[in-house]
Chain A
Amino acid sequence: MVADQALRGLDSLELPPDPGRQGGPGRLARRTWAAFWPKLLAVALVLALWEVVTLAGWKKYVLKGPGPVFSNLWQQMQHEMLWATIGWTMRSALEGYLVALVIGSVVGLLVSRIAPLRAAVGSIITGLQTMPSVAWAPFAIVLFGENNSAILFVVILGAAPSIANGLISGVDYTPPLLLRAGKTMGLRGFALYRYLILPASLPAFVAGLKQGWAFAWRSLMAAELFVAIIGQTSIGQVLDTDQQNLDFVGVSSVIIVILVIGILVDTAFTKADIALRRRRGLLDPAAAT
């Protein structure tokens, strides 16, 4: 079988040679370091700038340098209070986000499938997305009173439109060629969604989830600043109290906490996104680190 052998030869020539595992743990350490040092450098630069501004004496009765702020943060971390506060806020975030996930997915699926529904609410969803969530806080307080429901309401309104929009655009951008292939195979109705349209939409959906998280986190902070629940301290409430006490160190510490949590969760989404793209060959292998 000359043709058979030629074909095998061609197959092996056309595939890139397997690079194998080079270096083992050392390689992992190098890659981690390569990914991290620019971030560390950026943080160091910001801290240095902060220190310089403080030493220069700008707003010298209020402004404190990174030293006092981080030592305060370190002290706070020894106390259970900080963790309880973070725990409470994260619980609200998670609850609101999960409800937004369900609502956003259902709405997104319905809107993408039903044309009149899209005409009716498609642009409203995008409108809701651009709405600053802080504006919903007074509305929610009037509607629900100062309680957890008001907070969840704001979080859900913040996150659900992004999640719905992610799914809608994923469904919309399902490649027509794949649809043609699917229909030739005999995929129709539910099966077409289950085996083709939804898997094809996954990258856009994950992008929507990521954006939804960013909106949820912002909305939650806005809502917590407005809504004081008796007996429960949230991150937003700590921030509010520190502001009223003109406590620069306190305010700065809370902002750092908010920033770090936001970055950590966002990183998790980015990792999921990259893994997904790599599986589908949507990632330039040279750029993927």
Chain B
Amino acid sequence: MRVSNEQVTPPAGRPGASALSAAGFADQTRLADQAGQPGDRNIAVRLTEVSKAYGAGPSRLLALDSVSVTVADGEFVCIIGASGCGKSTLLNLVAGLDKPTSGQVDTGGRRVGLMFQEPALFPWLTAGRNVELALRARGVPRAQRPAMTTELLDTVRLGAFRDKRPHELSGGMRQRVAMARALALDADVLLMDEPFGALDAMTRDLLHDELERICAERTLTVLFVTHNVREAARLGDRVILLSSRPGRIIEEYALPRQGQRRIDSPEVSEVAARLTDRLREEVGRHGS
């Protein structure tokens, strides 16, 4: 599609935040602008007016348009949007696998780990060796690797499956090995690109609990991309809604935490419903 000249248009207003106040989160819901400001917490990831275009000339495609996001240390931020919103582009930029066309990406020298929808494990290595290779790539001395591998596999509760090859494990278990591998990089920031998208509902539900536990144990900062609104409402401290083609921030919701959420709890359902409505509205714009 053609790119308009309105690249510096700031993100649209945030009426959605007030709409959300009526939801089950009413008392705790604040504008993301306030919640997102770290105060005494440090900023782990800062994107300033980041745009990313692919190609040139008439076929130029603007994937991200002037996106500004700050994520505080230890925060769990979900990014949702329909197809073509540049979610994966955003993560690639933060991971340093790609450079923005304009704007700045700053992670303050933090280590960044990336997980994909597919586990992307090396099929010729056992679960343990996959984790060990990440340790080796990070420069951990050989003598320390076995013990660290044990610890990481225990963290994802796969200590007993160390010698299994990826194809001998189930989808959920592979994804947990991939998580152990990402943790092996000693990442401060974990970028997750629809990591549970290919899993069945029950496994996904259990892995949400696991991810929450691991993040709490290790004070991880997470940027979690998903197209599943329920998942976003279940996991996020904050949810960022992106428009499609080009990807722009249209809403941000702060969802402060009060104890553990469940995927089927009323407040999660209510937030999810609202996110869905807003997302449909956004997708509808492209249909007319």
In contact, B113 and A281 (Cβ under 8 angstroms) = no
Residues in chain A near residue B161, CB distance under 8 A: 11
Of residues 169 through 191 on chain A, the ones whose CB sits less than 8 Å from some CB of chain B are 177-178, 180-181, 183-187, 191
Q: Does A279 contact B (CB under 8 A)?
A: yes
Q: Which residue of A lies closest to B212 (CB)?
A: A3
In contact, A10 and B172 (Cβ under 8 angstroms) = yes
Residues in chain A near residue B185, CB distance under 8 A: 184-186
Task: Tally chain A residues at the interface, Cβ within 8 Å.
Answer: 28
Of residues 123 through 153 on chain B, the ones whose CB sits less than 8 Å from some CB of chain A are 123-125, 133-134, 136-138
In contact, A4 and B138 (Cβ under 8 angstroms) = no
With A3-B206, A184-B95, A186-B138 as contacts: A177 and B116 at CB distance below 8 Å: yes
> Which of the four size classes fits the interface of chain B?
35 or more
Interface with A: B56-64, B163-171, B239-247, which one?
Answer: B163-171
In contact, A199 and B137 (Cβ under 8 angstroms) = no
Q: Does A225 contact B (CB under 8 A)?
A: no
In contact, B134 and A185 (Cβ under 8 angstroms) = yes
Q: What is the distance, in angstroms, from B223's C-beta to the closest C-beta of chain A?
A: 14
Chain A positions 194 through 211: 1 when the CB is less than 8 Å from some CB of chain B, otherwise 0: 011001101000000000
In contact, B169 and A15 (Cβ under 8 angstroms) = yes
In contact, B123 and A280 (Cβ under 8 angstroms) = yes
Residues in chain A near residue B138, CB distance under 8 A: 185-186
The residue that A281 contacts in the complex, of B112, B118, B166, with Cβ under 8 A, is: B166
Residues in chain A near residue B137, CB distance under 8 A: 185-187, 191, 195
Tell me if A's interface is mostly helix, strand, loop or mixed: helix
Q: Does A8 contact B (CB under 8 A)?
A: yes
With A7-B157, A177-B120 as contacts: A185 and B172 at CB distance below 8 Å: no
In contact, B122 and A178 (Cβ under 8 angstroms) = yes
Q: Does A6 contact B (CB under 8 A)?
A: yes
Residues in chain B near residue A15, CB distance under 8 A: 168-170
With A10-B202, A184-B95 as contacts: A281 and B168 at CB distance below 8 Å: yes
Q: What is the distance, in angstroms, from A108's C-beta to the closest C-beta of chain B?
A: 19
Residues in chain B near residue A80, CB distance under 8 A: none
In contact, A11 and B122 (Cβ under 8 angstroms) = no
In contact, B206 and A10 (Cβ under 8 angstroms) = yes
Q: Does B173 contact A (CB under 8 A)?
A: yes
Given A11-B172, A280-B167, 5 additional A-B pairs, CB 8 A: A10-B203, A15-B170, A181-B120, A186-B138, A199-B122
Q: Please give the residue numbers on chain A whose beta carbons come within 8 Å of chain B beta carbons, in ascending order.
A: 3-4, 6-8, 10-11, 14-15, 177-178, 180-181, 183-187, 191, 195-196, 199-200, 202, 279-282
- 24 A-B pairs, CB-CB below 8 angstroms? A3-B213, A4-B157, A7-B206, A10-B170, A10-B202, A14-B170, A14-B172, A15-B168, A177-B116, A177-B120, A178-B122, A181-B120, A184-B95, A184-B112, A185-B181, A186-B185, A187-B137, A199-B125, A200-B122, A279-B124, A279-B165, A280-B124, A281-B123, A281-B166
